[in-house]
Amino acid sequence: MITPSIQKEYINKILNSKEFSSSKIYKSYLTYLLDASKEGKELKETTIALEVFGKHAGFNPAEDTIVRSHTYNLRKKLETYYYSEGKEDKYKLEIPKGHYGVTFVPVSENHFASPNRFATFTQNKYFFILISFLILAIGFLWFRNRTRLHKYQIIDNNDPIWKDYLQSRLPVLIIVGDHFFFNDLNSRYDQVIAIRDGKVNSMEDLEELRARYPDRNLVPASEPYFPYHSIWSLPPILSLFYSANQTPILRKSSSLSPQMLDEYNMVFLGSIKTLYILKHTLAKSHFRFEISPHKIIYSQQDSTSDKLFETSLHSPGPNDDLVLAMKLPGPKQNSIFIIASFHSLGAPEIAAYLAEADTRQHLEDLFREKFNRVPKYFEVLFRVTGIDKTAYNTEVLIYNELPAE
């Protein structure tokens, strides 16, 4: 077992090595971790951010990777040290992945491979024989499994929620919600600037703004902006269709025209703010929404009263989000599937929920229990709870069948 005096000797050697002596930040960070481990202090990422890197109390690890990146680089510097000046050390300083505690471990006699030994090995004829064999083996496995990969399927074509998309001859159009931006000539800077106004979410809204400011030259921006809701909802839905040998077409929601509504089976993914012309299809459901403040109004069936659901503005801490998941009848016997949320937390979570077999089965079971079948068209209101963009709870609030007409 290594004694405290020997530990101190090794620490001084590391800190005074070429790898660390010229790097004040990593020398300081390593010293901090060593002192904390000696005191038995349980370190967390936020603690290190505040005490070592001078971050403020609102530090969010999901948005700022300073601790993880410096810890990764610290491990690499230790690795470099043990390949050079520390290659004869009998004990090795380690920072286990996923932890910030530092520990000394004994090093076996041939623990570190010398770069010269590797160079000698690569000059050996058996090295090239081995590499050639591996290449041939990889090629054989690739050809053998290519057909299997094409047949890989994560969803059955008869799945009651998705079957009319998977079996229909109509092409699938995935609509990715983009925020509405418009341009204005700014007199102060004498140049065109792009503007995002939370109350202007369509050409209709922009026309109303133009009417209030007739002297301004307000025009839609040419470049789209896609929020987190849209982009991170895409992978599970694309995986679902690709696995069923479907190749969807992608379009941004701001470019959708009324004429397109009867040409495709559609899937909308994104923010409720980016529904644009699709918001009119909600008239076929029992839901309405308000953008500011965030509200979902449910007109209860067989009742004259409405039920109100609200969610607060997004914050970097704990959040809850309301998500509308609705499969609606289109104008020409097609389907329009909407997955839309107020915050970036909800839509990606429900897209995954509806793409993954286990969670989708839960919803199908709820429908069967209530209607003895899974309806072709339906409406569901979810509440998703989580921290920032990471969900930890999904709740089904309302689920109903919708008529085909």
> Are residues 190 and 232 both part of a single domain?
no
| pLDDT for 172 | 93
> Are residues 171 and 263 both part of a single domain?
yes
> Are residues 131 and 191 both part of a single domain?
no
Whether residue 156 lies inside any domain: the answer is no
pLDDT above 90 (res 375): yes
> Are residues 267 and 218 both part of a single domain?
no
Per the document, the length of the chain is 405
Instruction: Report the candidate in 405, 350, 358, 359 with the shortest Cα–Cα distance to residue 380.
Output: 350
Number of domains in the chain: 4
Provide DSSP, 148-217.
Answer: HHHH--SS-TT-TTTHHHHH-SSPEEEEEP-B--EEEEETTTTEEEEE--TT--SHHHHHHHHHH-TTS-
CA angle 289, 384, 395 (to 5 degrees): 100
- CB distance 111 to 88 below 8 Å: no
Whether residue 219 lies inside any domain: the answer is yes
Q: Which of 102 and 339 is assigned the larger pLDDT?
A: 339
Whether residue 158 lies inside any domain: the answer is no
- CB distance 227 to 270 below 8 Å: yes
Alpha carbons 180 and 220: distance in angstroms, whole number: 8
Crossing angle between the packed helical segments 357-371 and 346-355, to the nearest 10 degrees: 80
> Are residues 216 and 257 both part of a single domain?
no
Instruction: Report the candidate in 166, 216, 226 with the shortest Cα–Cα distance to residue 196.
Output: 226
Name the one residue in this structure whose structure tokens are 């301004």. 216
> Are residues 21 and 106 both part of a single domain?
yes
Distance of CA 353 to the CA centre of its chain: 14
Whether residue 42 lies inside any domain: the answer is yes
pLDDT above 60 (res 135): yes
Q: Could you report the per-residue pLDDT of 203-221, keeping only the tens digit for each?
A: 788 889 989 988 887 888 8
What residues contact 36, with CB distance under 8 A and at least 6 apart?
43, 100, 101, 102
Q: Is residue 87 helix, strand or coil?
A: coil
> Are residues 259 and 392 both part of a single domain?
yes
Q: Is residue 268 helix, strand or coil?
A: strand
Q: Which residues pair with 327 in a beta bridge?
A: 337, 378
Identify the CATH number of the domain in which residue 40 sits.
1.10.10
Confidence of residue 113 (pLDDT cuts 50, 70, 90): very low
CA angle 55, 61, 65 (to 5 degrees): 85
Q: Which of 339 and 333 is assigned the larger pLDDT?
A: 339
Whether residue 157 lies inside any domain: the answer is no
| pLDDT for 72 | 84
Q: Could you report the per-residue pLDDT of 35-74, keeping only the tens digit for each?
A: 888 888 888 888 888 888 888 878 887 778 888 888 888 8
* Listed range (58-67, 138-147, 157-166, 223-232) with the worst mean pLDDT: 138-147
* Listed range (23-27, 144-148, 269-273) with the worst mean pLDDT: 144-148
> Are residues 55 and 85 both part of a single domain?
yes
Whether residue 392 lies inside any domain: the answer is yes
> Are residues 322 and 295 both part of a single domain?
yes
Most confident of 80-89, 295-304, 396-405: 396-405
> Are residues 131 and 11 both part of a single domain?
no
Q: Which of 178 and 202 is assigned the larger pLDDT?
A: 178
What does the mean pLDDT of the chain come to? 83
| pLDDT for 143 | 58
Q: Provide long-range contacts, Cβ within 8 A and 24+ apart, for 74-83.
A: 74/26, 74/29, 74/30, 74/33, 77/19, 77/20, 77/23, 77/26, 78/14, 80/19, 81/14, 81/17, 81/19, 81/20, 82/112, 83/112, 83/115
| pLDDT for 206 | 86
DSSP 260: G
Residue 124 belongs to what domain range?
A: 118-151
* Listed range (78-82, 201-205, 261-265) with the worst mean pLDDT: 201-205
Q: What percent of the chain has a predicted confidence (pLDDT) above 90?
A: 29
Q: What percent of the chain has a predicted confidence (pLDDT) above 70?
A: 86
> Are residues 167 and 303 both part of a single domain?
yes
What residues contact 26, with CB distance under 8 A and at least 6 apart?
20, 70, 73, 74, 77
Whether residue 217 lies inside any domain: the answer is yes
User: Which residue type is seen at 263?
Assistant: E
Whether residue 208 lies inside any domain: the answer is yes
> Are residues 202 and 315 both part of a single domain?
no
